[in-house]
Amino acid sequence: MWTIVHGVTTFFDGLIGLFGSMNPLVGLSVVSVITGGIMLVVWKFTSNQEAIADAKTKIGAYILEIRLFQADLGLQFAAQAKAFRANLKYMSLAVPPMLIVLIPVVIILVQLDVRYQRRPLLPGETTLFKVEVAEGVDPGDVTLTVPDGITVETPPMRMPSVSEVDWRIRADREGEYELTVAVRDAKFTKRVVVGNELTRLSEARDQAGILGVWMSPAEAPLPKNSPVRMICLAYPDREMKLFGVGLHWLLVFFVVSVAFGFAIKGWVGVEV
C-alpha cells in the first residue's frame, strides 16, 4: 500500500515542485484549478443531471412564488415549505456523486495538507522532538542521534508513566536531515526539514494502517510492532498572504476550485 501512496506523493511532489520557486499560492491555485475541473467532470458522469436540473429549477420557482404572493402569508409559507422540500431533494441528489468523489478529493486534500498546512523550521528555531514507545519498553532505553545542522538543546525528559521521551532540538542550518532514534538495537529515523522551501512535511511518523498511510503520506510508516509507537516533531503553521491578508490554504483551494468549476460548468455542460 505504501508503494502506491508513495507513487501518488511523488506525483504531487513533481506537480507542486514545478512551482516550488514561486509564491505557494501559485502552486496551490494550479492544483485547485485542476482538481476543480476533474471533479466537475466526475460529477457530471456520476450524478443524475436531469434530476439535479429539475430540483434547482423548482427551487427557483418556489422562491419566485414567495415573491409573487407577498401579500398572502398562507401562500408564502406554503411556497417556503415547497422550497425547503425541493432543497432537500437537491441535497439528496448531491450525496451519491459526493460519495464517489469523496475518496480522490480526500487524497488530494491530504497531499495539500502535508505541504501547505505547515512550513519547515527556520535556522535558529527550536521545537520539541518526542518519541512515544510501545508498552513494556523502558523510555530509558531510547537515545537520539542528530546530524550536523541540528542541535539537541536539552537532555531527554523521560516520562515512564506515559511511555514518552522528549527533547528540545534547534535547527542550525538549512537542509533536510534524518534524526535517528535508537531503542536497544533497533533504529528509526525521522525526517526534519530546515529552510524556506515548499515541501511535504510530516509531523508524526507512526505505525499507520492501510488508511493511515493515505492520511500520512509524507513519510513511510514505522514498522508494525516496533518498540517505537510514534515519533513527533512540531512544525510551525505556514502563513500565506494575498495583498497582506492571511489566507488558509483550504479556503484558497475551496474558492479557486469552486470558482473555476463555476466558470467552466456551462462549457462542460454540467448541472451542479
Nearer of residues 15 and 75 to another protein, judged by Cβ: 75
Identity of the residue, 17 or 100, whose beta carbon is nearer to another protein in the bound complex: 100
Least spacing, CB of residue 234 vs another protein, in Å: 4
Q: Give the closest residue to 193 by CA, choosing from 236, 157, 222, 223.
A: 236
Judged by beta carbon, residue 59 or residue 137, the one nearer another protein is 59
CB of 124 to another protein, least distance (A): 17
Of 240, 236, 188, the residue nearest 22 (C-alpha) = 240
The rounded distance, in Å, linking the Cα atoms of 151 and 131 is: 17
Give the whole-angstrom CA distance, residue 152 versus residue 133. 20
Exposed, middle or buried: residue 221 (CB in 10 Å: 0-12, 13-18, 19+)? middle
- Helix, strand, coil % over all residues of the chain, rounded to 5: 50, 25, 30
- Considering the complex, what minimum distance in angstroms separates the CB of residue 185 from another protein? 26
Q: Would you say 2 or 69 has its CB closer to another protein?
A: 69
Q: DSSP code of 70? A: T
90/92 Cα distance (integer angstroms): 5
- For residue 165, the minimal CB distance to another protein (Å) is 12
- Report in angstroms how near the CB of residue 222 gets to another protein at its nearest: 11
Question: Minimum distance from CB of 167 to another protein (Å)?
Answer: 11
- State whether the Cα torsion 56-61-67-72 is positive or negative: negative
User: CB-wise, 182 or 250, nearer to another protein?
Assistant: 250
Residues 6+ apart with CB under 8 A from 70: 76
Q: Which is nearer to another protein, 40 or 150 (CB)?
A: 40
Q: Taking a C-beta distance cutoff of 8 angstroms, is the pair 160, 138 a contact?
A: yes
